[in-house]
A and B are shown apart, each in its own frame.
Chain A
């Protein structure tokens, strides 16, 4: 019995060490003076020179701005389409094409990226040709094709999140509103949407991250001159380790950590406020 109690927490601690030590080394070596990322130059470290170099690298800054733009548009588009798909799958019962829709929203979750990327590129090539044949001119692959591709694979993640949220709340609330005379559209805006809002927010963040992170599909569909940040990092890192990438990684980790801690605190405050409101309501009822 004692061995078991001891074993599982040890494995948990080791597992978390495995998850976090590599990230920590990235952060530590971003302050290293030496160009050799992994050899600590104790005489001249810590230093911020790689951060300075990072902010002077116009290519990386341009790529980061492009990535943010694509990720924001992608997240908004994917949230709209993914929420609709989640609503349809969770609430509309049986209709023609339901199986097709549910396959199309789950398949991208497990599809190897390389196949998605290839098929999207071939579609855009075919569309380019069709435009050439029909109108005599064609479009270039670039930011638009990139965004369309990102939206397409982000939809499924939003759909899954929204659909599971639907599964977890009682549709009796909606029926009650309908019984009390609210129109379906009003029920949607006043009841359904606020209830699934947490799922929509996390779906948005998920879609943003997926787009911000994607290398393979972007590599296929992006045209010349539309390199996103991961594409630039990938081509840089392929040649070997470089300290300004460490600096970039540290900044990203910082932003993510701040975001997560901030949202955790916000959730806690919301929960406290809800508890207080429940208590107040109970006090008013009894008094």
Chain B
């Protein structure tokens, strides 16, 4: 190994050490031993891989590996044991010698497919999420349009007002609707006092209450992507259309709406996907006779201790929800490439 030169030259052993009887050892050590840490770090700067590795390792261990475990448990069978599922592999005396035996059970999946409870609950969840997303869009679109057309100073105030409820507790915002929708709640009391109705309307524990809860909780997630999109629109397009005699409503349908489709899709995904798996809102406001899939999974896991079934339900939900995300991202990246 030729001696290095320049800034990264290895240090010479101090004279006191060269004078001692151990001089050859010190020389050897300084030549081939580990260099000073500062030198070492400077020469083999591992910062970059380290910076990548830290978040990567954390997310692989606590985000990716858990899904592998869910997948593993979804193909196990439920037993009364601690933990309550059969191992995927075990050593057994088979074929005359000790063999690693892989045992997969599809009971979780077959039960999910044969018992209509699951398909029905999943369909119901999709319906609730779709209807809520639609209402959310209906309320959010005019709001986002109004914000994007306000003066810049007003605009930041409005945006703050949209985001502000997000900082207050989600649970307490859902709770607020319990007080409003009750049979002797605020809405019924006001309507009774005004003489509009004579008997309280049942609103709690209905689909309507769940829609309201979801729309209310997720409204900012719909408004913000829409606003981001609408803000970028070129106003001269609308002016040109008006100059050419187009009525505002027609300009909206022919110009603004088509241009805002990416914003609508992004907002709809941000509302729809969490809404399918929603647990808190249907638990507090929803029908007791019709469980959404998230609640069903929770009950199977904690009440029935059927871990393999709960995992199978989770896998099914993931597949049904991840597919649209992948399609959406493909669409977006294709769009970006088309622009280039």
Contacts and interface: CB of A to CB of B under 8 A. Distances in A.
What range describes how many residues of A lie at the interface? 35 or more
Contact of A25 (B48, B146, B176, B269): B176
A23 B173 contact: yes
A110 B179 contact: no
B60 interface: yes
20 contacts: A8-B145, A8-B146, A16-B161, A22-B180, A81-B54, A84-B54, A85-B59, A100-B60, A112-B276, A112-B278, A113-B277, A114-B279, A118-B70, A118-B314, A119-B67, A119-B314, A123-B69, A152-B62, A215-B280, A260-B167
Contact of B273 (A92, A112, A149, A213): A112
Given A118-B310, A118-B314, A126-B69, A20 B165 contact: yes
Contacts of A185: 47
A267 B140 CA distance: 28
B176 A15 contact: no
A97 interface: yes
Given A215-B280, A241-B179, A256 B186 contact: no
B161 A39 contact: no
A155 B55 contact: yes
B327 interface: no
A20 B173 CA distance: 10
A230 B165 contact: no
A233 to B, nearest CB: 6
B338 interface: no
Contacts of B66: 119-120, 122-123
A185 B45 CA distance: 11
A152 B58 contact: yes
A142 interface: no
Interface stretch (B32-40, B97-105, B111-119, B293-301): B293-301
Contacts of B325: 110
Nearest to A237: B175
A264 B160 contact: yes
Given A25-B179, A112-B274, A126-B69, A11 B167 contact: no
Given A9-B146, A118-B310, 4 more contacts: A23-B173, A84-B55, A87-B51, A110-B273
A140 to B, nearest CB: 14
Given A25-B180, A26-B179, A110-B274, A215 B145 contact: no
Contacts of B69: 119, 122-123, 126
Contact of B62 (A115, A123, A230, A233): A123
A240 B178 CA distance: 8
A234 B51 CA distance: 39
A113 B279 contact: yes
B241 to A, nearest CB: 13
Chain A interface helix/strand/loop/mixed: helix
A114 B277 contact: yes
A173 B161 CA distance: 34
Contacts of A248: 172
Contact of B301 (A118, A240, A246): A118
Contacts of B169: 212-213, 230, 233, 249, 252
A88 B52 contact: yes
A226 interface: no
B72 to A, nearest CB: 9
B158 interface: yes
B172 A245 contact: yes
A151 B55 CA distance: 11
A134 to B, nearest CB: 16
Given A1-B248, A12-B158, A23-B176, A82 B55 contact: yes
A122 B167 contact: no
A44 interface: no
A237 B64 CA distance: 34
B143 A11 contact: yes
A25 B301 CA distance: 36
B318 interface: yes
Interface string B54-89: 111011101111110110010000000001000000
B179 A215 contact: no
Interface stretch (A46-54, A101-109, A277-285): A101-109
Contacts of A120: 62, 66
Interface string B136-147: 000110110111
B55 A29 contact: no
A192 interface: no
Nearest to B57: A81
B208 to A, nearest CB: 15
B176 A26 contact: yes
Contacts of B277: 112-115
A36 to B, nearest CB: 7
A269 B3 CA distance: 59
A4 B250 CA distance: 11
Contact of A12 (B146, B166, B249): B146
A85 B63 CA distance: 14
A125 interface: yes
B27 interface: no
Given A101-B59, A105-B59, A12 B165 contact: no
B176 A22 contact: yes
A108, A151, A152, most chain B CB atoms within 10 A: A152
A3 to B, nearest CB: 8
Contacts of A29: 179
